Amino acid sequence: MKSHLGWLAAVVLIAVFALWVSLPDTESVALDLNNNGEIDFALNIEQRLGLDLVGGLRVLLRADLPAGAYTAADLQQAANNVSRRIDALGLTEPTIEVLQGSGRILIELPGITDPQRAIETIQQTALLEFVDFAGLRAQSGQFIGQRILTSEQVIINEQRRAAQNAAGTASTTEEGSQAASSEPAPLVNPLTNQPFRTVMTGAGLQAAAAQLDPQGGWLIQFELTPEGGQVFGPYTAANIGEPMAIVLDGVVLSAPVIQAELPTGGVITGRFTEEEAKTLALQLRSGALPIPLSVESTESVGASLGQESVARSVRAGIIGVCVIFAFMLLYYRIPGLAAALALLMFILINLAAYKLIPVTLTLPAITGFLIGIGTAVDGNILIFERIKEELRGGAAIDSALEAGFHRAWNSIRDSNFSTIIICAILFFFGQTPGASIVSGFAVTLALSLVINLFTAVIVTRTFLHIMVAVLHRPLMSRQWLLGV
């Protein structure tokens, strides 16, 4: 009995905590336990909703190259890189789908707060170039912040012109001409009157991270791939004492003087702000897009349909839970009451877990949760039927309870774990761009199954043992209260 009272205290504490976390007004908590002005404990509590519930942005991207200039694998790689950028922006449950045969990528972003920043980060090719500035040490400072023309940019511009000509869109060409005429022409190498030579692009980078610059501002520390090191190392070794420009999308960020051979990496300086440095590091870390992309259309998605869907799902869930409660109470009586309390505990723990992990709730994710409620009830039914068999066989109440939980455990465990394996497979295939909405269903269902192993066995067992201990004498003569 003492062990069950201890479990009851633990269950009550868990229930109170889960109820507090589940409340809509509960947000992130930070505690200064030592009163020293520093955060000693932080708890992130956040409810995330998907595009179908909270609204967001739908973006259609188009490849800016002619059909023969890239492959389906290039377009898929671009979609994968866009997906990594979105994840790093903190946007969850994105839907990214390559529209086969059209050269387009469809992106759905739920609950975004800055659509313009999201579009710019997704679209930018983040063409990072390490450009040869040999012989320009006295003039290199004049190029910082200026737009220059490089050999790599010439290749990209030729590909874009070929794409426009292949598409036969005179209006696009005209708009491009007008845009070009409104901006000053990029600068060329004053020593040769030719485009600056690109030594290496960002494709040679392996990693990039924003860090504080001891001299003020922020910088980006980068590491090279083995292939990048084979190009960058010999060049820096042969040009010690000469400037080298670091150029992003045609604009010179800085032109440091090469101090030593750099076969593995270095830093990009430019007096960046924290946001600029982190955005640049994100773009470099997620990889330059293998093909340039332009935004063909954007559409803001309202949440009115989502709100109606949520209202109907909540209503259906409440009705279903009430029907389950009524069935359990009428058919199993006292055990049914214990199961009902355990089911309430199951719902609270799930809702709290969704905010603590956090899990992005979409309509499929909510469906996974509702199915999880069914599995929780199923576990209790297995236990109660075993208890009834023991009682009908003449076992004492306490012995019947122990035997029922012990013998039903293997069935509950095996059925839940087999479904968890299916959820893992669904989650794995849901990582494919265009199928990520499946992941939400798999996560909520798997989480429900794991929590069910606790509530169906520990919580229900604790409540039922306490109730039987309190009502032991009446139950001895009225076993119909146990559903027999």
Mapped to the 3 state alphabet, what secondary structure does 333-378 carry? CHHHHHHHHHHHHHHHHHHHHHHHCCCEECHHHHHHHHHHHHHHHH
Range from 85-99, 398-412, 449-463 carrying the lowest mean pLDDT = 85-99
Range from 15-29, 108-122, 211-225, 233-247 carrying the lowest mean pLDDT = 108-122
pLDDT category of residue 303 using cuts at 50, 70 and 90: low
Range from 20-24, 302-306, 328-332, 416-420 carrying the lowest mean pLDDT = 302-306
268 beta partners: 220
> Bigger pLDDT: 462 or 250?
462
> Bigger pLDDT: 238 or 178?
238
Task: Output the CA torsion 202→205→211→216 (10° steps).
Answer: -50
Domain boundaries along the sequence of the chain: 2-22+303-482, 52-301
- Report the C-alpha gap between 345 and 460 in whole angstroms: 10
Instruction: Indicate whether 91 pLDDT > 60.
Output: no
So what's the pLDDT on residue 176?
41
Mean per-residue pLDDT for 332-344? 92
> Bigger pLDDT: 329 or 482?
329
Task: Output the CA torsion 84→87→89→91 (10° steps).
Answer: 140
Position 135, amino acid: G
So what's the pLDDT on residue 193?
93
Mean per-residue pLDDT for 21-29? 83
**Other beta carbons less than 10 A from residue 71's beta carbon:** 11
pLDDT category of residue 288 using cuts at 50, 70 and 90: low
CATH classification code of 52-301: 3.30.1360.200
Whether the CB-CB separation of 107 and 95 falls below 8 Å is answered with yes
So what's the pLDDT on residue 88?
57
Instruction: Indicate whether 385 pLDDT > 80.
Output: yes
- Report the C-alpha gap between 184 and 330 in whole angstroms: 81
Range from 103-107, 299-303, 359-363 carrying the lowest mean pLDDT = 299-303
Instruction: Indicate whether 177 pLDDT > 50.
Output: no
pLDDT in tens, 76-88: 878 877 776 676 5
Q: Is the pTM of this model over 0.75?
A: no
Query: What's the fold here for domain 2-22+303-482?
Result: Multidrug efflux transporter AcrB transmembrane fold (1.20.1640)
pLDDT in tens, 455-481: 988 999 999 999 998 888 888 888 888
Whether the CB-CB separation of 63 and 291 falls below 8 Å is answered with yes
Write down the mean pLDDT value for the chain: 82
Show the tokens assigned to 135.
């012989």
Most confident of 54-58, 205-209, 212-216, 224-228: 224-228
pLDDT in tens, 26-65: 877 766 666 666 666 667 787 877 777 777 888 888 887 7
Mean per-residue pLDDT for 206-225? 85
So what's the pLDDT on residue 358?
82
Local structure of residue 424 (DSSP, 8 states): H
So what's the pLDDT on residue 316?
85
So what's the pLDDT on residue 483?
75
> Bigger pLDDT: 232 or 268?
232
- Using DSSP's 3-state secondary structure scheme, residue 471 falls into coil
Mean per-residue pLDDT for 125-144? 85
295 beta partners: 61
pLDDT category of residue 178 using cuts at 50, 70 and 90: very low
So what's the pLDDT on residue 362?
81
Q: Cα–Cα–Cα angle for 359, 364, 365, nearest 5°?
A: 20
Show the tokens assigned to 329.
């109470």
pLDDT category of residue 167 using cuts at 50, 70 and 90: low
So what's the pLDDT on residue 181?
43
Instruction: Indicate whether 170 pLDDT > 50.
Output: no
So what's the pLDDT on residue 133?
94
